[in-house]
Amino acid sequence: MFKSDGSLIFASSFADYTMKSIPRDIILTTERLRLRAADLSDVDLVWDVSRFDGFNDGMTWEPPNSKEEIVAITERNMADWESGVDYIFTVEIKNDGASIGRVGLLKKKAPGIWNIGFWIHPKYWNRGFATEAARAILDFGFQRIEAVKITTDHATWNQQSEMVIRKLGFKYVGENPRGFIKNGQPVLVLEYDFSKQV
């Protein structure tokens, strides 16, 4: 689940658990992708994807009502990066520089536990980009920020997300009938985790 709004404020109170933060100029690369720290240059991307009908249905955040709202959220995201509690990367295609989505790790309350979230612009779906970007950030989590376990979940109907999570090798741990709230209603999610390989 991509937690980028209210949950970030909640997470900030756990900044004390973080041992070090990562410089914002870090770049992660994969065969086809380049991942950089999310910033204000992504406002149009976030606005554009959130105009797609149903795009936000499987995520905790709602479609923003204005670009100003996205600026405010992104500034909070950037501050949370500096605090070492939320590392949100923008995913770019290496060969043409197109910004196509985001993937992030949000610190949970227990030490060493992080939650992964991801989204990709619908124009780029089903080309393996989410899986490739998420793989890079799992490595980042285990190697750079001392994650010992990374968790995630998806709404039961979200088969695309389920496919990504399963392809990555996450282990199913159970159901949560109140995974997140959408339109005032709790959403049933399936939960997974991935432990650091030793």
Residues lying near ligand COA in the complex (CB under 6 A): 1-2, 55, 58-59, 118-120, 125-131, 154, 158-161, 163-164
At 84 the three-state DSSP class reads: coil
E-strand ranges in the chain read 27-29, 33-37, 86-93, 99-107, 113-120, 149-155, 171-182, 185-195
Least spacing, CB of residue 45 vs ligand COA, in Å: 12
Least spacing, CB of residue 37 vs ligand COA, in Å: 19
If the CB atoms of residues 107 and 121 are measured against ligand COA, the closer one turns out to be 121
Instruction: State how far the alpha carbon of 181 is from the alpha carbons of 37, 59, 80, 189, in Å.
Output: 28, 9, 23, 11
If the CB atoms of residues 84 and 187 are measured against ligand COA, the closer one turns out to be 187
If the CB atoms of residues 24 and 94 are measured against ligand COA, the closer one turns out to be 94
Distance (Å, whole) CA 106 – CA 101: 16
Distance (Å, whole) CA 5 – CA 56: 13
Joined together, the tokens standing for residue 58 give 């499987």
Least spacing, CB of residue 16 vs ligand COA, in Å: 28
Least spacing, CB of residue 133 vs ligand COA, in Å: 8
If the CB atoms of residues 99 and 161 are measured against ligand COA, the closer one turns out to be 161
Joined together, the tokens standing for residue 78 give 């950037």
Least spacing, CB of residue 177 vs ligand COA, in Å: 16
The maximal CA–CA distance of the chain, rounded, in angstroms, is 45
If the CB atoms of residues 3 and 84 are measured against ligand COA, the closer one turns out to be 3
